[in-house]
Amino acid sequence: MTLADLSVDLVWAAATALTVGLVAFAFDLARLAGRSPARATAVPAAVTSAESTEATTGSSPTPYGPDSTERAGSEGAPVSRKAAGIGISTTWLGTILLLAAIVTRGVAAGRAPWANMYEFALVGTFFALAVFLGVSLRRDVRYLGAFVTGLSVLFLVLAQNSFYVVATGVQPALQSYWLVIHVGVAVAATGIFTVAFATSAVQLLRDSRDGGSAFLGRRAWRWLDSTPRPAVLEALSFRINAVAFVLWTFTLIGGAIWAEDAWGRYWGWDPKEVWSFVVWIVYAAYLHARTTRGWSGRRAAYFVLVGYACVLFNFTGVNILFDGLHSYSGLPGQE
């Protein structure tokens, strides 16, 4: 078995561990949802998948006031969070396996392991997991676990099945220490944006449920009551986004410096540059929206969703759809 093959197996192992984590986190959310005796009829596994909400259509939607959480929380006995603990442990395991996969991949290719779309997906997923675990060391963000591990598994499987290219050297244009800096920071920013996106998504769901949304008022969404208040989620999302935004700014600057050396211009509106610019503008708009009267809270969170959609498109769509200087996916049909 070569190192490159070992790397591939390690990615599968990581994806497996993360899937276990996903199930554990989902189970935890289900338990939290069913902790109140009056609501004990909830089907635990139904919580994480959207389609299973149909199973509980019969129950009448309950509007939730902002204070219902605290009251609901004080009613029942403390819920065992063993499942969440298992989730955190397996997420650590999966993250370490993924790190090992990335390192072996880099050794096999003889360079920094983030030079094509496949490797970018691996490293970006790693950063998302690392940020989630890092934050979870300091505060309880286990409610995000299902989302972060779910997205991670999705990215890893997608990378293995659709983006995979063999580990090898890179063309002269990529032979620069800027590959390590520019792409490394870009991939870190992408991973961090992922965690912020999950936070903002939970914020919006929770906010809608609190606001009396009929759909989100259903039983299957009761786990939302165990998440922090929308304002707390908003603050967390902002802090994560702020870090990622600074890194993204650096990505643009580092990219411009590299482009000046490699292509003879610091900015040339290449499709990747256009979309990196769009991402930057959308997140800049988000930061401004937060401090604009009438745009903070929910509306600002929508910017995070739009921004993350642009991040994903910049990472996948631009590589595949457009022909540009940044077409380094290494997939067939690309230079």
Partner 1 sequence: MSTREPDPRPDRGAYRPEGIDDSFSAPVATAEPPAEKPASGPADGQPSLPALGLRGTLRWTWRQLTSMRVALMLLMLLAVAAVPGSVLPQRPQDPAAVLRYLQDNPTAGEWLDRLGFFDVYSSVWFSAIYILLFVSLVGCILPRTGAHLRAVRNRPPRTPRRFDRFPAQATVVTTASPDEVTDAVARHLRGRFAWLPTFRVDTGTQETRSSGGPRVERTVAAERGYLRETGNLLFHLSLLGLLVAVATGQLLHYRGQAIITEGRGFANAVVDYDTFENGSLFSPSSLVPFSMTLDGFEAEFATDALAFAQSRDFTAFVTVRDPDGTEHVETIKVNHPLQAGNAKIYLQGNGYAPGITVHDASGEVAFSGRVPFLPEDTMYTSDGVVKVPDVAPGLEQIGLVGTLLPTAEVTEAGARSVFPEALDPLLVLDVYRGDLGLDEGLPQNVYTLDTDDLTASVDEEGERVKVLVAPGETVELPDGLGTITLDEELPRFVALDLRHDPALGWILVFALGALAGLTISLFTPRRRVWVRTWSEDGAAGDARPGTTSTGGTARRTVVQIAGLARGDDAGLQGEVDAVRHAVPGAEQSDGPAGTSHDSAGPHPQDRATGRGAGKADR
Nearer to partner 1, 96 or 256 (CB): 256
Out of 55, 181, 274, 320, the only residue in the binding site for partner 1 (CB under 8 A) is 274
- For residues 179 and 320, give the distance between their C-alpha atoms in angstroms, rounded to a whole number: 20
Q: Which of these, 164, 88, 91, lies nearest to 121 by C-alpha position?
A: 164
Our finding on whether 164 is near partner 1 (CB under 8 A) is no
Nearer to partner 1, 58 or 294 (CB): 294
Our finding on whether 285 is near partner 1 (CB under 8 A) is yes
Out of 278, 305, 320, 331, the only residue in the binding site for partner 1 (CB under 8 A) is 278
Our finding on whether 235 is near partner 1 (CB under 8 A) is yes
Our finding on whether 284 is near partner 1 (CB under 8 A) is yes
Our finding on whether 302 is near partner 1 (CB under 8 A) is no
Nearer to partner 1, 58 or 172 (CB): 172
Out of 28, 119, 207, 234, the only residue in the binding site for partner 1 (CB under 8 A) is 234
Total residues at interface with partner 1 (CB under 8 A): 59
- For residues 158 and 143, give the distance between their C-alpha atoms in angstroms, rounded to a whole number: 24
Out of 168, 214, 215, 309, the only residue in the binding site for partner 1 (CB under 8 A) is 168
Out of 106, 113, 184, 271, the only residue in the binding site for partner 1 (CB under 8 A) is 271
- For residues 287 and 257, give the distance between their C-alpha atoms in angstroms, rounded to a whole number: 26
Our finding on whether 107 is near partner 1 (CB under 8 A) is no
Our finding on whether 295 is near partner 1 (CB under 8 A) is yes
- List contacts with partner 1 (CB under 8 A): 166-169, 171-173, 175-176, 178, 231, 234-235, 238-239, 242, 245-246, 249-250, 253, 256-258, 260-271, 274-275, 277-278, 281-282, 284-285, 287-289, 291-297, 310, 318, 322, 324, 335
